[in-house]
Amino acid sequence: MSLVRALDHINIRTADLASTKSMFIDVLGLTEGWRPAFPFPGAWLYAGEKDVVHLVQVDRPASASEGSALDHFAFDISDYEDALTRVRATGLKFFETTVPGSSIRQIFVRDLNGVNIELNWKGPNPRG
């Protein structure tokens, strides 16, 4: 039996906390919420009552996802067209694709820190 119940959160190191926070709030509709009084700047962003994205302010930009061991993370989204409209409005690089043999439509977007984010809309037949 697996000890893992669900993915708890992701953590992004950023040299531009304000812009990174704004992207997650404006594009994905996350909200900023409670965060422990750590001795360094950052933010915790919530989907409903759950903190799902932790941001940590750093002095220098960290390495991008592309080419690293951790390539991307993914969110399950409720509205593909709304997500696409919001992603387009950012001016960030993105591409769309579908999962073969399924109704899953995906948007891959790279945030300001070079982090690859996958947005999955599952549709009526996600497993074909």
Residue-wise pLDDT tens digits, 8-50: 999 999 999 999 999 999 999 999 999 999 999 999 999 999 9
Beta strands 105-110 and 10-14, pairing class: unpaired
pLDDT at site 125 = 78
Query: What b/e sequence results for 6-28 when a residue is b if at least 16 CB atoms lie within 10 Å of its CB, and e otherwise?
Result: eeeebebbbeebeebbebbeebb
DSSP class of 48: T
What the block records as the tokens of 92 is 């960030």
Does the pLDDT at position 128 exceed 70? no
pLDDT at site 122 = 93
In the CATH scheme, what is the code of domain 10-121?
3.10.180.10
Q: How confident is the model at residue 62 (pLDDT cuts 50, 70, 90)?
A: confident
- With CA atoms as reference, report the closest residue to 125 among 107, 97, 101, 106: 101
Alpha-helical runs (H) found in the chain: 17-28, 80-90
Rounded to the nearest 5°, which phi and psi values hold at 75? -115, 140
- Spell out the domain ranges in the chain: 10-121
pLDDT at site 63 = 87
pLDDT digits (tens, 9 = 90+) for 64-117: 888 888 889 999 999 999 999 999 999 999 999 999 999 999 999 999 999 999
